[in-house]
Amino acid sequence: KLDYYAGLGIGEVVLRVPSAPRDEVLAVLDDYARFVG
């Protein structure tokens, strides 16, 4: 899906982080890390 947005010229997106206990949020952030860089 990010490739689709990039094809439209969108260079920035916002990812949703759950309102949850710390360990659950950290796991989501670790998963999102592959998109940063």
Query: pLDDT tens digit string along 1-37?
Result: 788 999 999 999 898 999 999 999 999 999 999 888 6
pLDDT at 37: 67
Whole-prediction pTM: 0.65
Question: Tokens 């990010």, residue?
Answer: 2
The angle formed by the CA atoms of residues 32, 9 and 30, to the nearest 5 degrees, is: 5
Torsion angle in degrees (nearest 10) through CA of 20, 16, 34, 26: -10
